[in-house]
Structure 1
Amino acid sequence: MKPLENGDSDLEGGRLGKDRERTTRSGRTFKMHNQALLSGLAYCMSSCSMILVNKFVLSSYDFNAGISLMLYQNLVSVIIVSTLSLFGVISTEPLTLNLIKVWLPVNVIFVGMLVTSMFSLKYINVAMVTVLKNVTNVITAVGEMYLFSKHHDNRVWGALFLMIISAISGGITDLSFHAVGYAWQITNCFLTASYSLTLRRVMDTAKQVTKSGNLNEFSMVLLNNTLSLPLGVILICVFNEVDYLISTLVGSLNKIPLSIAGILLFKVPTSLENSASILFGLLAGVFFARAKIRERS
């Protein structure tokens, strides 16, 4: 076999290097695609489950305290993100006064978006809520055109036109049509689009007042949900949901995390039968809360 000369060796080495680089690049691309796919699936599952749970609670239990439910969910989000930040799992920006001042207009729209979503879910079925949410894309596209001089091609406008047609035809053929629910959902569409557009304007200013010069997703979650708590309490008083918040559902549901935390923190020995008994007692408390809510209404 003829030995390789220097030029052939360099050429062969270059080919091997390129092949190795191509393999490494394709591996990174595959890993990024997998991460994006997992993130998308996680988002879909969490988003769908939240909508379905909210719809179930607001409709099935005749629960007339959507703001209280929103406040509870936001409080849980604050606790989870703060705990992860405390243990160094994630990094968040400190909530300074300057950052709060910059972010407050965005947060007011954020709270309005959540509240109107809760109110619309009480009256409209989940399928129609999903269809009507497409109107948000139309409002956002128009807002981008006027506020940011962003132009969309004909394919985008064609898709948006189909969304409008589907929303109108869905509303006309909706057998469970409820004017109040549709009014809340349309308001929610405008607030959601306003939140997206306002967020784009405020982000650059918000980054300038942070210590790191950046504002990641976890910091935004912590900022939005923390600032929403006092606004939520005010809205609870305005919409007269104090009785629901204090004496019924929250008073019963808080026993569930309390019982679990007590078993885990103090390493209480338990059996399957004992766990079933505890679960039975907790469910009895939830059914009691449901009965009290229906009695009040």
Structure 2
Amino acid sequence: MDANIANRISKSPTLPVASYCMASILMTMTNKYVLSSPGYNMNFLLLTVQSLICVLTIRVLKNFKIITYRDFDFREAKFWFPISFLLVAMIYTSSKALQYLSVPVYTIFKNLTIIVIAYGEVLWFGGHVSALTLFSFGLMVLSSVVAAWADIQSSATSGYTSLNSGYSWMFLNCITNAAFVLTMRKRIKLTNFRDFDTMFYNNLLSIPILVVCTLFTENWSAENIAKNFPPDSKYNVLIAMAISGVSSVGISYTSAWCVRVTSSTTYSMVGALNKLPLAIAGLLFFNAPVTFGSVSAIFLGFISGIVYAVAKAQQQRKKESATVLPMTNNPVSASSQSIRDSMSKS
């Protein structure tokens, strides 16, 4: 009985979804704290610290036989390297967008990634976008437009240079995020990587890329180091970087867990549903402007998540009905669904 319960828990999406939510919120808040420090401009260094802490942590856990993952293999590393490159692109553009945009605006605009991923799933995995799902996408776009309008209004007196930079980085983050999630899911299927395998290769292969980027693109002069780590707050920044690194361990594992147990679109939607606690935290701890537009955008974004959840529940019921009555199922859709099912069981 205990084994059956453990098996059901391991295949249930509830635990990975909840774990991903907590890790995502912690990482976003600590990253925002570091990146919003006056004069901080070494984003690649922050990301390098996160990957190093992640690799060291799982290595220690493996030595104590708490977890296990496959040993490093050059051929597998060569096959997985494009995923790590996309991961670096995704987290760097995310850090730049978070540096320029408020936490509520950043989380709301992450919704647009879901639309790109959903149609990527249609092309790559034979997914289906229902009318109700399309409606939820429309609400996502509307919430982003309202958020942008409110953000522009609140920044009217301070100029638009940093704001434009923030939206440019946010656009790039949406593209790289979608590419990373879809490609990783396809690679997991081909390589049969487990969660810790994915976590190990993602972070290990990211380190050399990040080290090269921070050494050759960031200013390592004594003056700039002092600017990034001022004497009166350098320990707070270092502690926040360490916490961010620890949270990257959680988000690396839970991301792979969510993609395997659910679907790429659902994984991204979970991130979107984080907007409510993240937005509230941004309003409370980072003095994000509280306006009718910003509150409306947060509300619309949250409603879009609820509508999407209902749409996915309807699709699940249709899939179960098709399993009971296989003759009524479309052969192409059945084949595509079997791929998704095998992904959730792998």
TM interval, shorter chain, is 0.5 to 0.7
In structure 2, stretches of 5+ residues that fail to align are 240-346
- Kept in 2, the 8 Å contact 1:136–1:192? The answer is yes
Which residue of the other structure, out of 215, 218, 223, is the alignment partner of 2:196? 218
Which residue of the other structure, out of 146, 156, 160, is the alignment partner of 2:123? 146
Partner deviation per Cα, 1:235-260 (whole Å, 9 max, x = no partner): 1133224347995549976997xxxx
Which residue of the other structure, out of 165, 187, 192, is the alignment partner of 1:202? 187
- Kept in 1, the 8 Å contact 2:113–2:178? The answer is yes
Matched, 1:188 2:165: no
- Kept in 1, the 8 Å contact 2:44–2:213? The answer is yes
Q: What is the TM-score with the length of structure 1 in the denominator? A: 0.67
> Matched residues, percent identical?
27
State the one-letter code of the partner of 1:238: F
Counterpart position of 1:122: 99
Partner deviation per Cα, 1:68-105 (whole Å, 9 max, x = no partner): 11110111001101110111100111110111111011
Q: CA deviation at 1:179?
A: 0.5
User: Structure 2 matches for 1:76-115, cutoff 5 A?
Assistant: 76-115=53-92
Q: CA deviation at 1:194?
A: 0.5
Cα distance in 1 between the residues matched to 2:139 and 2:147: 12
- Kept in 2, the 8 Å contact 1:103–1:206? The answer is no
Cα distance in 2 between the residues matched to 1:105 and 1:39: 25
State the one-letter code of the partner of 2:182: L
State the one-letter code of the partner of 1:183: S
Cα distance in 1 between the residues matched to 2:203 and 2:223: 18
Matched, 1:73 2:50: yes
CA 1:99 to 1:65, structure 2 compared with 1: closer, same or farther past 3 Å? same
Matched, 1:48 2:33: no
Partner deviation per Cα, 1:213-269 (whole Å, 9 max, x = no partner): xx211111111111111000111133224347995549976997xxxxxxxxxxxxx
Q: CA deviation at 1:151?
A: 1.9
Cα distance in 2 between the residues matched to 1:96 and 1:250: 42
Matched, 1:32 2:9: yes
CA 1:83 to 1:117, structure 2 compared with 1: closer, same or farther past 3 Å? same
- Kept in 2, the 8 Å contact 1:71–1:229? The answer is yes
- Kept in 2, the 8 Å contact 1:102–1:206? The answer is no
- Kept in 2, the 8 Å contact 1:68–1:241? The answer is no
Counterpart position of 1:240: 218
CA 1:129 to 1:120, structure 2 compared with 1: closer, same or farther past 3 Å? same
Counterpart position of 2:37: 60
- Kept in 2, the 8 Å contact 1:132–1:167? The answer is yes
Q: CA deviation at 1:37?
A: 5.0
Cα distance in 2 between the residues matched to 1:72 and 1:82: 15
CA 1:107 to 1:63, structure 2 compared with 1: closer, same or farther past 3 Å? same
Higher RCO (C-alpha under 8 Å, 6+ residues apart): 2
State the one-letter code of the partner of 1:231: I
Partner deviation per Cα, 1:18-57 (whole Å, 9 max, x = no partner): xxxxxx69x949x839x86555444322211111111111
Q: CA deviation at 1:156?
A: 1.1
User: Structure 2 matches for 1:279-290, cutoff 5 A?
Assistant: none
In structure 1, stretches of 5+ residues that fail to align are 1-23, 208-214, 257-297
Cα distance in 2 between the residues matched to 1:250 and 1:103: 38
CA 1:198 to 1:39, structure 2 compared with 1: closer, same or farther past 3 Å? closer
Cα distance in 2 between the residues matched to 1:170 and 1:246: 34
Instruction: Please say which structure displays the higher CA radius of gyration.
Output: 1
Counterpart position of 1:228: 206
Three-state SS of the structure 1 residue aligned to 2:36 is helix
| 41-50 or 101-110, which deviates more | 41-50
Q: What is the TM-score with the length of structure 2 in the denominator? A: 0.58
Cα distance in 1 between the residues matched to 2:187 and 2:24: 25
Q: CA deviation at 1:120?
A: 0.7
Counterpart position of 1:136: 113
- Kept in 2, the 8 Å contact 1:102–1:205? The answer is no
